[in-house]
Structures are given as C-alpha cells and as structure tokens.
Amino acid sequence: MPHEPLAFFNGRLVPLKEANVNIATHAFNYGTGVFEGLRAYWNPAQRELYLVQPGPHYERLWRSSRVLHIDIPYRVEELIEWTVELLRANRFEEDVYIRPLAYKADMAIKVGLSGIKSAFAMYAVPMGDYVSTRGIRVQVSSWRRIADNMIPSRAKVTGAYVNAALSSEQAKMDGYDEAILLTDGGQVAEASSSNLFMVRRGVLVTPPVTEDILEGITRDLVMEVARDHDIPVVERPIDRTELYSADELFLCGTGVQLAAVVEVDRRPVGAGEAGPITRTLQDAYMALVRGEAPRYRRYVVPVYGRQ
C-alpha cells in the first residue's frame, strides 16, 4: 500500500501501528475474544473491490460473542458500513483479508467473563492465496478437534485456535501442507482452520455441524453452488479411511478458498490432482467472489460503488 495502513480501533479509524492493547488486557492473557475472517476481491476489469458475504460473517460474530458474554456496540449493518469505510480509506486495489475482533478489554487478572468490559477492533491486509488451491498434501493429525462442550467449536474463539496451530504445525513439521482433525469419537471433523468436502461416486459429502466443526459460511455457499450445478450434497459423518478411498477432496473457507487435496497420509486422492467437481466449484466460487456471477451478486458488496 502506498500510504500508512489504517485500522478501526476505539470507534474510529486510526493508523494500524497505533491500534494497540496493553499486555494486561484480559483477552491477551486468557484468550477471551472472538473474531471473524472476511475477504474482499479486486476485479481489475471492473475497477471494483467486492466484499464477500459480510452479513453472514457479522451475524456469526454476534453469535460467537454471546457465547463469551462479549458486548459488540454495533449492529450488523453498522459493522458492514465500517468495513466498507475501512477498505475505502485504505484505498485497496488488490485482494484483501479483513479481521474483526471482539474481546474482553479490561486489564484484569481474573478467570471469568462477567463484569469485564468489551471492545471491538478491525484491520485489513492484502492477501492472495492462503494455501495452494490446485493441490495440497494433508495429514490426519494426532491432535483431536476440540469438542463443543470443552471450547465451543461453532464459535470463533481466539484461544481455541491453539488447537489449530498445534495440528497445523505438526503437519508442516512432518512434510505436509495441512492437517485434518478427528473428533474425540474418531470421526472426521475438519482441517486446522477450514471445512472439508469429499466426493464419492459423484456425491459431495461433508461432516454435519454436530461433528465439532465451525459452521462455515463458505461451506454453506459451496453447498448452495453445488446444488445449483446439480451436484448432490449429503451431510453425514465421515470415517477416516473414507478419506483414503475418496474420488476427490477439498478444503474450503474464507482463508483457504477452495483448495484441492491431492494426498492424504501419503495416499493419492483420486488421480492425484484436482478432480472435475472440485474444479467446477472452484471456478464458480471465484467468479462469484469477483462479482462476475450475476446469479450470486447478492452475496457481494461493491466497496467503491462502481458497479
């Protein structure tokens, strides 16, 4: 960026380098925060930046905040307006990742949630592909996915992402790109920070929301697009060994987008490359997020209002 990046902090736009919290802040000490991850995609032909599904993301942020008794001082519509304002102020003309956070902001040595004030902040940074979308190698991790009655898996709690960090780091140290986590009962849950889809005999299969997964917004969108392409979709438990016999696998999420999995535990998936259903959904998704799919224009917000 040719100018100093800005963040939303304490109710206004400030230089990112000034958007700081004290080391005694409760969320820093105890992981008592929730967050979201949004993307905005630059369309160079249209000279437009498209913010993808901000409403569902901020509705989920509100749901996450209720779990931790965090008060967000803005309605969903106001959060969307501030996000657009932040992107405009930073004058982005490239793909961007946006990180809103709501957290316990008091400087307090106290294990608890009540009586501790809340705060909201947000920043945005340029981001291309988080991982390769054309083919990654994954490992079934020895770390298990956190169960919902331990740390709520359907809420994006900051402290819970130690689970993701441990499994992802293990996979990378073992020579893989990403990790797949199982539930405490041994069923497939999701990747370290993304949902998982499997194709078997032309059917798209994904674990249900009761399998300790994050209720993914991109996951919901993928299922809708798949049905629009007459691809059957089933939500059901998945056994570990089904990953080894799958015709196709891919991960999905705001960060990873749609990333084809070509190997699991040193076993090739299908032909060892992105399969036809994966490629179809990838192409449809990228057209959607760049504002090139009229059928799905309701899911994107033009930041500069040129379209």
Q: Dump pLDDT digits (tens) for 186-220.
A: 999 999 999 999 999 999 999 999 999 999 999 99
60 and 116: one domain? Answer: yes
| Domain span at 183 | 136-289
| Position 306 confidence tier, pLDDT thresholds 50, 70, 90 | low
Average pLDDT over residues 30-36: 98
Average pLDDT over residues 149-157: 93
pLDDT given at position 133: 82
- The set of residues, in sequence order, having a beta carbon less than 8 Å from that of 56 and lying 6+ positions away, is 217, 220
Q: Is 172 a catalytic residue?
A: no
Of 259, 295, 196, 254, nearest to 52 (Cα)? 254
pLDDT in tens, 251-295: 999 999 999 999 999 999 999 999 999 999 999 999 999 999 999
98 and 143: one domain? Answer: no
Cα 119 from Cα 10, distance rounded (Å): 8
Decide if pLDDT at 27 tops 80. yes
Phi, psi (rounded to 5 degrees) for 216: -70, 135
Does the residue 66 lie in any domain? yes
CATH no. for residue 236? 3.20.10.10
In this structure, the chain runs to a length of 307
| Position 76 confidence tier, pLDDT thresholds 50, 70, 90 | very high
Decide if pLDDT at 1 tops 50. no
Does the residue 85 lie in any domain? yes
pLDDT given at position 3: 78
**How large a percentage of the chain has pLDDT more than 90?**
95
Cα 171 from Cα 96, distance rounded (Å): 26
205 and 284: one domain? Answer: yes
Does the residue 153 lie in any domain? yes
Does the residue 154 lie in any domain? yes
Tokens of 42: 């630059």
Q: Where are the beta strands (DSSP E) in the chain?
A: 6-9, 12-15, 33-35, 38-43, 48-52, 96-104, 118-126, 136-144, 178-182, 188-191, 195-200, 203-206, 233-235, 248-253, 257-264, 267-268, 300-302
**Mean pLDDT, the chain, integer:** 96
| Position 307 confidence tier, pLDDT thresholds 50, 70, 90 | low
Does the residue 209 lie in any domain? yes
Position with higher pLDDT, 133 vs 139: 139
| Position 131 confidence tier, pLDDT thresholds 50, 70, 90 | confident
pLDDT in tens, 79-111: 999 999 999 999 999 999 999 999 999 999 999
Instruction: Count how many domains the chain has.
Output: 2
51 and 167: one domain? Answer: no
Average pLDDT over residues 144-152: 94
**Residue whose pair of structure tokens reads 């705001």 in the numeric block:** 254
| Position 128 confidence tier, pLDDT thresholds 50, 70, 90 | confident
Decide if pLDDT at 55 tops 80. yes
83 and 192: one domain? Answer: no
Does the residue 303 lie in any domain? no
pLDDT given at position 14: 97
Q: Which one is catalytic: 104, 117, 156, 172?
A: 156
273 and 158: one domain? Answer: yes
Decide if pLDDT at 154 tops 70. yes
Residue 132's beta-bridge partner residues? none
76 and 172: one domain? Answer: no
